[in-house]
């Protein structure tokens, strides 16, 4: 059975939930949008921080911590953005770090987006 995680993130018009839980796992994808649904300006550092803030908010809304995150998939639109994203990312996690992969992609769903993350977290048995 799938359970929706209720967050305070912008209510997207797209057919999606910001996070769901099923089979002891939280599934989420996060993008650099603010409370009004706008992609934040300021380049990759600002977008990485907004994306990671949205991720942390979602993890906490599920009553988990960032230590529960088991895997992160990072998408950036240019290889030069990855070191900046990594620096921001490092502020949100401590060792032992989640498993992760990083991909350079031609583009994301919204043209102005420079990054996106997909993350999975372990949900303790009740």
What is the full per-residue pLDDT of the chain (126 aa) written as tens digits? 899 999 999 998 899 999 999 999 999 999 999 999 999 999 999 999 999 999 999 999 999 999 999 999 999 999 999 999 999 999 999 999 999 999 999 999 999 999 999 999 999 987
Task: For residue 65, give the CATH number of its domain.
Answer: 3.30.1330.40
Asked whether the beta carbons of 5 and 20 are under 8 A apart, the reply is: yes
pTM surpassing 0.85? yes
Tally of domains in the chain = 1
Residue span of the structural domain in which 68 resides: 3-122
């Amino acid at each position: 059975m799938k359970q929706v995680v209720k967050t305070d993130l912008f209510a997207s018009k797209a057919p999606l939930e910001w996070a769901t839980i099923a089979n002891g796992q939280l599934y989420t994808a996060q993008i650099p949008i603010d409370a009004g649904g706008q992609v934040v300006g300021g380049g990759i550092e600002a977008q990485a921080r907004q994306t990671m803030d949205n991720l942390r908010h979602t993890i906490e809304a599920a009553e988990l911590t960032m230590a529960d995150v088991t895997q992160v998939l990072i998408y950036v639109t240019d290889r030069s953005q990855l070191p900046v994203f990594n620096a921001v990312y490092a502020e949100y996690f401590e060792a032992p770090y989640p498993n992760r992969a990083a991909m350079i992609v031609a583009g994301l769903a919204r043209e102005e987006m420079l990054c996106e993350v997909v993350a999975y977290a372990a949900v303790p048995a009740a």
